[in-house]
Amino acid sequence: MDRQASDDKSRQDSLIGRRSVLKGLGAGALGLSTGGVLSGCGSGIKGAGGSATTGTITIGFVTPLTGDLADFGASDMFVYNTVKALSAYTKGFKVGSKTYKVNVLIKDSQSSPTRASQVARSLILQNHVDMILTTSTPETTNEVAAACEAQGVPCLSTVVPWESWYAALGGNPVSPSKPIKYCSMFFFGLKEFQGTFAPMWNRISTDKTIACMYPNDSDGTAFREGFEPLIKASGYKVVDGGAYTDGTTDYTSMISTFKNANCELLSNCPLPPDFNTMWKQASQQGFKPKLATVAKVLLFPSDTAALGSLVNNIATDSWWGPYMPYSSSLDGQSAKSLANAYQAATGNQWTQSIGSSYSLFEVAREAFTAVDDPHDANAVAAELHKVSYTGMCGPLNFATGPLPGVGIIKPVGVQWKPGTGKYPWVMEVVDNSLNPDVPVTAKLEPTNA
């Protein structure tokens, strides 16, 4: 079996495993999914820390720089280079009476669960890292977290719904009682999607019937089992279009189901190419819901290119942007300034992942500087579970989330609207029900009048 075939098989096996973990839970994942707890061999003294007695703190950073998920990691080299140049990192971390140099190693998961697991283990066993930071969908984060939990190395994840992360580590999101010792994360979950989307639904006059486009994969199963009950609890009727196969090219039957039920709202969690195909066919066949609220797609500017004008006023969630009134805990730089710096350095439009990846490095510093010995993995992991600070993504408290070690970002509702400058489409904040700190920047308008 060649490498690509092996990766494809591993991804399929991982998705199957993830689906079985979520079955019956009533809650689950968003984003591209994977799962399963790594069993792997030990790294030596479990929980003893990686760099032993050296005067250097070594941090690993695992992110999808290439492959299918590269849009999520598109800004991470910028974040990596930016943080490494800050005095908070160049001058080292003061831990107790001693200052430690900080070495950060970045690794590309290549959008492969297998690769994510491999580089995590390499960072642990060969580079002897004291902590691993990881981001961008369960396909990367869950495998890295599983490796770290098995090897006794502190790990911090983001841009993964907490339900997916927790289930992959053997927990039950419906009854989160299983403690996770070495791993922590910050992002949000299905209830935050409800809290972001339902207020937008309520402001559009409709028959309260929602078309649900959920695929036959682990994410679709999670939405069907976990999000549909939340839709109904919000006072809306669900019309499920059926568990279609990823890669489907003809959505005529689904669209007919939605039209016959007079659905005036849309909820989904598809692969981006599948949504592009379905949305174009919907327009051609006369299915034009008054408001489309999408998950897993249209999170980044690059996603808008394939749809052109059809992206107008599609709504989604935003966990970070230049409109956030927050600043770095490392050097005081504002969210707007950081977004502008990225655009000036790369020529590309800002992405949400800038803020979440930046905050990984903020939280890492908070945990390391709170212990007596940065090489004591047990102590560092314990501090990660109780970090409470305000930084680039706003206030985060890891002790008060759905379980210890989980910090919740409060997202806002945004719509894609025509840009007035260099970029053809821009995110505008249209609902701040969950996060009143963020100013509304535009009026919520129907996707289709």
Number of domains in the chain: 2
Q: Does residue 448 fall inside a structural domain?
A: no
| 216-251: pLDDT as tens digits | 987 788 789 889 999 999 999 999 999 999 999 999
Beta bridge partners, 58, equal 103
Residue 381 inside a domain? The answer is yes
Q: Are residues 113 and 159 both part of a single domain?
A: yes
Residue 275: inside a domain, yes or no? yes
pLDDT in the model for residue 442? 97
Going through 142-262 in order, the beta strands assigned E by DSSP cover 155-158, 183-187, 209-213, 237-240
Indicate if 26 and 169 belong to the same structural domain. Answer: yes
Does residue 437 lie within any of the structural domains?
A: no
Answer yes or no: do 387 and 423 share one domain: no
Same structural domain, 104 and 153: yes
Regions of the chain short of the pLDDT cut 70? 1-53
Whether 64 contacts 136, CB under 8 Å: yes
For 68, the token pair is 């299918």
Tell whether 422 is covered by a domain: yes
> Is 393 within 8 Å of 399 (Cβ atoms)?
no
Task: For 196-329, list the strands marked E by DSSP.
Answer: 209-213, 237-240, 265-268, 291-294, 315-318
Say whether both 54 and 118 belong to one domain: yes
Q: Are residues 395 and 255 in the same domain?
A: no
* Shared-domain flag, residues 45 and 110: yes
Amino acid, res. 162: W
Q: Yes or no: say if 197 and 237 are a contact pair by the CB < 8 Å rule.
A: no
Residue 223 sits in a domain whose CATH number is: 3.40.50.2300
Q: Are 297 and 55 in contact (CB under 8 A)?
A: no
Tell me, yes or no, whether 278 and 416 share the same domain: yes
SS3 395: strand
Amino acid residing at 426: V
pTM of the entire predicted model? 0.86
Kindly give the pairing relationship between strand 425-431 and strand 412-418: antiparallel
Q: Own/partner pairs for 285-289, CB < 8 Å, 24+ apart?
A: 285/252, 285/255, 285/256, 285/259, 286/259, 287/211, 287/255, 287/258, 287/259, 287/263, 288/447, 288/448, 289/211, 289/258, 289/263, 289/264, 289/265, 289/447, 289/448
Buried-exposed string 92-116: b where 16+ CB fall within 10 A, e elsewhere: bbebeeeebebbbbbbbbbbbbbbb
pLDDT at res. 53: 55
pLDDT for 35 equals: 33
Tens of pLDDT along 97-109?
A: 999 999 999 999 9
The per-residue pLDDT for 46 is 43
Cβ 261 vs Cβ 289: under 8 Å:
no
Residues 181 and 196 in one domain: no
> Is residue 233 domain-resident?
yes
422: containing domain: 192-318+411-431
pLDDT of residue 138: 86
- 436 within some domain: no
Residue 119 sits in the same domain as residue 196: no
Strand duo 98-108 + 93-95: pairing: antiparallel
Co-location of 20 and 71 in the same domain: yes
* Alpha helices in 369-421, H assignment, sequence order: 377-384
Q: Is residue 446 part of a domain?
A: no
Q: In terms of domains, do 296 and 153 share one?
A: no
